[in-house]
């Protein structure tokens, strides 16, 4: 199964990192306050990063690496060629 690592820009300008096998479904769940407790105090604003081509294990490892990055390093990641967010339809 194809897993993705994603980053969501939140209404408080924080960056949330997660993994899923269906990024659109997961973004909608975050909007509906299902799942991650992180979104109980803030709202997801925009999907800003998607990295594809992972299995469950490699996605988890990559998520861990990304979560340890500084904000500046995460912003640089958003501008990298690894970012496949343009391959997904706009989420509203």
3-87: which CATH number, 3.40.50.720, 3.40.120.10, 3.20.20.450, 3.40.1440.10? 3.40.1440.10
Exposure string of 54-72, with b = 16+ CB inside 10 Å and e = fewer, is beeeebeebbeebeeeeee
Token pair 């299995």: residue: 55
pLDDT-derived band at 90, boundaries 50, 70, 90: low
Structure confidence by residue, pLDDT tens digits, 51-61: 999 999 999 99
Structure confidence by residue, pLDDT tens digits, 18-31: 999 999 999 999 99
E strands present in the chain: 3-10, 15-20, 44-54
* pTM of structure: 0.92
pLDDT-derived band at 40, boundaries 50, 70, 90: confident
Structure confidence by residue, pLDDT tens digits, 67-82: 999 999 999 999 999 8
pLDDT-derived band at 88, boundaries 50, 70, 90: confident
| pLDDT value for 87 | 87
Burial class (CB in 10 A: 0-12, 13-18, 19+), 23: buried
Cα 27 from Cα 22, distance rounded (Å): 9
């Amino acid at each position: 199964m194809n897993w993705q690592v994603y980053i969501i820009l939140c209404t408080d300008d924080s960056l949330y990192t997660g993994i899923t096998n269906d990024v659109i479904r997961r973004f909608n769940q975050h909007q509906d306050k299902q799942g991650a407790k992180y979104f109980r105090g803030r709202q997801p604003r925009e999907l800003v990063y998607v990295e594809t081509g992972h299995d469950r294990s490699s996605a988890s490892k990559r998520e861990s690496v990304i979560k340890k990055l500084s904000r500046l390093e995460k912003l640089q990641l958003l501008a990298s060629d690894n970012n496949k967010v343009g391959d997904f339809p706009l989420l509203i």
